[in-house]
Structure 1
Amino acid sequence: MNKLVSVLLAALALLPLPAGAKERADLLIRHATIVDVAGARLIPDQAVATRGDAIVAVGGDADIAKAWTAGRTIDGGQRFLIPGLWDMHVHFGGGPALVEENKALLPLYIAHGITTVRDASGDLPDEVLAWRGEIASGRLFGPTLLSSGPKIEGIKPVWKGTIETGSKADVDAAVTKLKGLGVDFVKITDSTMKPDLFLYAIGKVRAAGLRVSGHIPLALTVDQAVDAGISSIEHIGYAYKAGVKGEAAIAADFAAGRIDRAEAYRRLDAGFDPDTATAAYRKLAAKGVYVTPTLNGSRVIAYLDQDDHTSDDYLGLIGPGLRATYAWRVERAAKADAAAIAARHAEYEHEASVLPMLQAAGVTIMAGTDAGFLNSFNYPGIALHQELAIFVDKGLTPAQALATATRAGPAWFGKLDHYGAVEAGKTADLVLLDRNPLADIGATRAIRVVVVRGTAYDRAALDTMLADTRAKVAAWNAEASRSAGKVE
């Protein structure tokens, strides 16, 4: 129905008007330079009219101004208008006691120009699915939420908030449950998932008409997961693994118990081969398998010896309960000796170096951060901009990086007819930037206005969102201090 309405609105925008009459829009953005992400080009002095949550007209400023009037007009000042940003890998969690702290993260995404997020599941799957509906109905403020609901896992997994499976019948029931929950995709993880069930689950999910993402068991090759029908690979480490010559032998030895996990990873780290990787990445592209690198979180942990992040201003936007979930990774990293620190630096750099190889092979790269609970100092909102900066630093052009955060997500979900461009008929999710992101990807941080489902928030409104969250966190910090004092 939404698609039909958008098409009708776009068609109506093209109909001739009576002499002197103007079509009425809710919002008019004038004198903007539109960034055509797909074409990597700029279209100067444009105007955009929106009605409800849809863009109803786009064209030269003079032409649109003659034909349209609006309840609110924003002077773009020749600034740069891009589609709303998508973060394709976020997490909410930390247990029921942290529900409110997690909800307080939602405005941070909007304040950073992120209008859609893909929740890759935590331990609050039911709450997140409820938020998804509340946001869609306007009862809760935040980015559009697309969620996997609870993950499919094995029996007694490390991760909470999962559906445990130990048989094909269990997998069948899990897929039926997730289908009934109306999830947007399915996430499968591997902490205790049997390799044969992992492959079976992928096929079952795809047969149910859903996309599937996940972590690939060490006892399987990436190629096996691809052949089974996995839709996206989360974390660049798995893409690196696909480029290892002898990956199949390593997986077989691990599955048979001939080597332990540490030895398997040692052999994987040493076995990367560019020719093997190129062939593997071309197959990913041919099969339509996307990759979400999530490099920013890896970078933070790899280089904790150089920046412990204790002075980050952004900590004032993260509740005390969520900050406490950072400790386990920080403590583990702190125990590393000089050799281990050098090894984790090298591992990050080696894995990140395959990014341009993926791009060259035609693999669609999706920007996702892994931000949320547990993932230390990988902050919701700003992390996406840091991820894009890493993409460019590792070899992508600014235009390619921008596409990973505006077009790749909608393409993966089959929603490019609604998102990914500033065009009539698309959803009115937009970001007005002070600087040109095709020249400098850092310009995505220079946000002047964010339009979310047709409602515009100027810089003052965005700053208020940040200030309100900071005030909430300050109150939670004070309460935590009082409670700690009482315990003592």
Structure 2
Amino acid sequence: MKLILTAVLGVLFFISCKTRKPEADLVIAHVNRIDLESGSVYPNQFIYITGDRIITVLDRAEAAQIEAKETLDATGKYLMTGLWDNHVHFRGGDSLIAENKNLLNLYIANGITTVRDAGGDLTSSVQDWQSQIESGALTGPEIYTSGPKIDGPGATWAGSLEVSGEAEIEAALDSLQQLNVDFVKIYDSTISAENYLEVIAKAEARRMITSGHMPYSVTVDEAVNSGIDAMEHLYYVLKGCSAEEKSITEAVKTGEAGFWSSLDRVMQTYSDSTAQNTFKTLKDQDVFVVPTLHIGHTLSYLDEENHTDDSYLKYMGPGIQKTYGGRINSAKNASPEFVVMRKNLDSAFVKLAGDLHRNGVKLLAGSDCGAFNSYVYPGESLHQELQALVDAGLTPLEALQTSALNGADFLKKDKPLIQTDAVADLVLLNANPLENINHTQDLFAVIKRGNLYSKQDLEDLLKKVSNQ
């Protein structure tokens, strides 16, 4: 009798399990889901999240199959993957660690769920933040980092790994691998042409991703042939569009010209046919370009624009605000000829970014925000960069693709899409960003690793920053 009863109870339990609806932690209900790959918008979708993952995406007819502990009614809202800022900096030395950490809230408050740290001197702190963010102990974006930059002896930026030959290059790359960095960032202040190309080649041999500024003593073809994966900023690509690139490069090598003094000549010798060849090379070799248009415009017009009333200035700590002085003084002391050249360069970059995109070169949206970069504010500046890309000729969809999709592609990470088993890093907007790129700033909520931040939560993050 006991055996029969046990069997009956087992059958009843099995039936109960089979008929019980599966449960999620959160469902985003009745939302317009944006597919950033295709540009399609799917209405009345239900996105189910458990832990830090999307467990399924259903339409209204199927949604009754799953229950959720919490329901977010997103009727009339638009859901897309979280934004990526593909060029930021955490730096300024030990005295600015707390102020840099304080900026993490600004990214989430602006719907930026991932950043690419392009070199600094706070690597141990950054890696500590990475661990805390992953565990949920700290609010902030996913951080991919290069760790310290590689440069030559007497490098401009503190904390750089200085190399002057093969042994030091190998040692620098060893240390970066021990740090488990996500890519190698090379800077151009003092590194020689030969060592620059050697760093790229040796890093590529180790299967490390490379990006960097590019010394004007190196041609675009030389960097691409060595295996560089991305070029930060447009100065270097622009030189590759000059009919006189080789002679300009040689003049820099011999000391007859410098970086800044070469730029007028670079612009004056721009050649459409040379540019087309350069674009083809970059496209064929899958080299990414990071235009950083917004910071270029901001720094080019420091002599004209007064930033003292910027709404985001109050979120910068006094130490970071103090670092702005270098750029400001440079602008004040610049010659009239330099001021004109810098503004001409700004216009040239806008055209170049559009031309690169139209010719199939992959772009990465990055703001270059952080200490020492005056009035380019973490969080807000990525939205301004997206607008700058639209102004350069990209559609809102194409501009958005340069953020998360291209960012993941460059770092060889899983494609960030709204689909089953994807990480739940999402942005919920009040209006469709495909119609107007400024709608990326009209946030209704942000989901980071499955954690929901309401509009009030996002405002509280901003208040927390301003009260520090």
| TM-score normalised to structure 1 length | 0.90
Uncovered stretches (5+) of structure 1, i.e. residues with no partner: 1-16, 473-488
**1:84-483, aligned counterparts within 5 Å?**
84-417=82-415, 419=416, 421-472=417-468
**1:54-73, aligned counterparts within 5 Å?**
54-64=53-63, 66-73=64-71
For the Cα contact (< 8 Å) 2:121–2:147, is it kept in 1?
Answer: no
Call closer, same or farther: CA 1:189–1:380 in 2, change over 3 Å.
same
Q: Within 2, Cα distance between the matches of 1:265 and 1:313?
A: 33
Q: Give the structure 2 partner of residue 12 of structure 1.
A: none
Q: Within 2, Cα distance between the matches of 1:405 and 1:58?
A: 23
Letter in 2 for 1:282: K
Q: Within 2, Cα distance between the matches of 1:277 and 1:126?
A: 41
Question: 1:340: Cα distance to partner?
Answer: 3.4
Question: 1:414: Cα distance to partner?
Answer: 1.5
Question: 1:433: Cα distance to partner?
Answer: 0.4
| Structure index of larger Rg | 2
Letter in 2 for 1:32: V
For the Cα contact (< 8 Å) 2:184–2:210, is it kept in 1?
Answer: yes
Name the SS of the counterpart of 1:29 in structure 2: strand
Q: Within 2, Cα distance between the matches of 1:95 and 1:313?
A: 26
Question: 1:305: Cα distance to partner?
Answer: 3.1
Question: 1:345: Cα distance to partner?
Answer: 1.4
1:57-97 deviation line (CA, Å, top 9, x unaligned): 01213312x11111211111121101010001000111111
Question: 1:263: Cα distance to partner?
Answer: 4.0
Uncovered stretches (5+) of structure 2, i.e. residues with no partner: 1-15
Name the SS of the counterpart of 1:191 in structure 2: coil
Letter in 2 for 1:280: T
Matched positions, count: 454
1:183-211 deviation line (CA, Å, top 9, x unaligned): 01110111111111111110111111210
Which is worse superposed, 265-274 or 146-155? 265-274
Q: Within 1, Cα distance between the matches of 2:148 and 2:18?
A: 57
For the Cα contact (< 8 Å) 1:278–1:357, is it kept in 2?
Answer: no
Question: 1:22: Cα distance to partner?
Answer: 1.6
Q: Give the structure 1 partner of residue 48 of structure 2.
A: 49
Question: 1:260: Cα distance to partner?
Answer: 4.2
For the Cα contact (< 8 Å) 1:31–1:46, is it kept in 2?
Answer: yes
1:438-460 deviation line (CA, Å, top 9, x unaligned): 11000000011100011110100
Question: 1:107: Cα distance to partner?
Answer: 0.7
Q: Give the structure 2 partner of residue 6 of structure 1.
A: none
Q: Within 1, Cα distance between the matches of 2:101 and 2:85?
A: 16
1:289-313 deviation line (CA, Å, top 9, x unaligned): 1111111111111122332211112
Q: Give the structure 2 partner of residue 477 of structure 1.
A: none
Matched, 1:26 2:22: no
Q: Within 1, Cα distance between the matches of 2:307 and 2:58?
A: 45
Q: Within 1, Cα distance between the matches of 2:150 and 2:466?
A: 35
Question: 1:257: Cα distance to partner?
Answer: 2.8
For the Cα contact (< 8 Å) 1:302–1:341, is it kept in 2?
Answer: yes
Question: 1:110: Cα distance to partner?
Answer: 0.3
Q: Within 2, Cα distance between the matches of 1:154 and 1:63?
A: 60
For the Cα contact (< 8 Å) 1:236–1:352, is it kept in 2?
Answer: no
Q: Within 1, Cα distance between the matches of 2:208 and 2:51?
A: 29
Question: 1:329: Cα distance to partner?
Answer: 0.4
For the Cα contact (< 8 Å) 1:125–1:161, is it kept in 2?
Answer: no
For the Cα contact (< 8 Å) 1:215–1:233, is it kept in 2?
Answer: yes
1:328-386 deviation line (CA, Å, top 9, x unaligned): 10111122354433322111011221111111111111110000000000000000000
Q: Within 1, Cα distance between the matches of 2:258 and 2:163?
A: 24
Q: Give the structure 2 partner of residue 40 of structure 1.
A: 39
Name the SS of the counterpart of 2:403 in structure 1: helix
Q: Within 2, Cα distance between the matches of 1:221 and 1:32?
A: 49
Q: Within 2, Cα distance between the matches of 1:340 and 1:189?
A: 23
Q: Within 2, Cα distance between the matches of 1:265 and 1:304?
A: 19
Call closer, same or farther: CA 1:362–1:416 in 2, change over 3 Å.
farther
